[in-house]
Amino acid sequence: GAEWTYSGPTGQDYWSNKYPYCAGSFQSPIHITSDLLRFSPTLRPIEVRNYKLSSTEQLTLRNDGHSLKLSLPPTMYVAGLPNQFTAAQLHFHWGSSNWPTGSEHLVDSKQFAAELHIVHYNSDKYPDINTAIDKSDGLAVLGVLIKIGDFNPAYEQILRFINGAKYKNFEVRVPGFNVRGLLPARLDEYYRYDGSLTTPPCFPSVLWTVFRNHVTISHQQYLALVTSLHASSVQNAEVTPLNNNFRKPQPIDSRVVLVSFKE
């Protein structure tokens, strides 16, 4: 579709000119504050299936000018949600070297360095993600808040290939690895709300699960993420770094955020 960016004349404040849902309700991300939280005893631990990929499995890591995204095989899925949700891809949102605050969801006024999203679609009801993408029960995204701290070997399985995706539309093959390692230890503690894609077309089609506990990557790993990628294609003379690719928090309206944990 027509190009959109995170700042400037085609930036997030103008997305709704071409993508009307972006000005609609149920938008993501949100600022998760304690006053919005309601404990729900029906929220079961997230169960990920077949996330441990064989190294003979080949994944595609691609820079699409908006994000760094990794394709995922349809053998991977999430159980324990209202329907089975099959994995499609994962991607990141991050800040810049000057401002290591690029997460999309904020928790009690804290913005994390980056955020991982693993995008799944409702495979009980829809044949593929492109059919599911604009349906209210179409998608489920797992969100992981990322802080700068200890080196993370699981994230390194992706970051060590990042120079193969330097320019827009560049892609590189990545051997399979244990995608479960990208998630926090506890999959039973999370925030849950009804929201949207955080990029155009902003369809309100996402059941959001943001894990309560963050993971860490090292400062060096974070620098690789925020300095390696260009938002423009290799032919384009101007150097436009791909960073600060996060949408601002959106109006919560009358939504509540359910939590799976008590204290």
Ligand X SMILES: NS(=O)(=O)c1c(F)c(F)c(S(=O)(=O)CCO)c(N[C@H]2CCCc3ccccc32)c1F
Give catalytic residue positions: 66
User: Would you state the structure tokens that stand for residue 250, as one six-digit string?
Assistant: 């959106």
The DSSP 8-state label assigned to residue 45 in this structure reads: P
Query: Does 105 interact with ligand X (rule: CB under 6 A)?
Result: no
Query: Does 69 interact with Zn ion (rule: CB under 5 A)?
Result: no
Q: Which amino acid is at 179?
A: V
Q: What residue 64 binds from ligand X, Zn ion, none (CB within 5 to 8 A, per partner kind)?
A: ligand X
Judged by beta carbon, residue 117 or residue 230, the one nearer Zn ion is 117
Minimum Å gap between C-beta 200 and ligand X is: 7
Q: Which amino acid is at 127?
A: P
Select the residue interacting with ligand X from 12, 199, 221, 260 (CB under 6 A): 199
What is the rounded distance in angstroms from the CA atom of residue 25 to the CA atom of residue 195?
8
Select the residue interacting with Zn ion from 62, 66, 105, 117 (CB under 5 A): 117
Select the residue interacting with ligand X from 12, 77, 117, 228 (CB under 6 A): 117
Q: Residues 189, 90, 233, CA angle at the centre, nearest 5°?
A: 145
What is the rounded distance in angstroms from the CA atom of residue 250 to the CA atom of residue 149?
28
Query: Does 105 interact with Zn ion (rule: CB under 5 A)?
Result: no
Query: Does 207 interact with ligand X (rule: CB under 6 A)?
Result: no
Residue 209's nearest CA partner among 224, 226, 187 is: 187
What is the three-class DSSP state of 219?
helix
Query: Does 120 interact with Zn ion (rule: CB under 5 A)?
Result: no
Minimum Å gap between C-beta 92 and Zn ion is: 8
| Helices marked H in 31-178 | 129-132, 153-159
- Contact residues for Zn ion, defined by CB under 5 A: 117
- Contact residues for ligand X, defined by CB under 6 A: 64, 66-67, 69, 88-89, 91, 117, 119, 129, 133, 141, 197-199
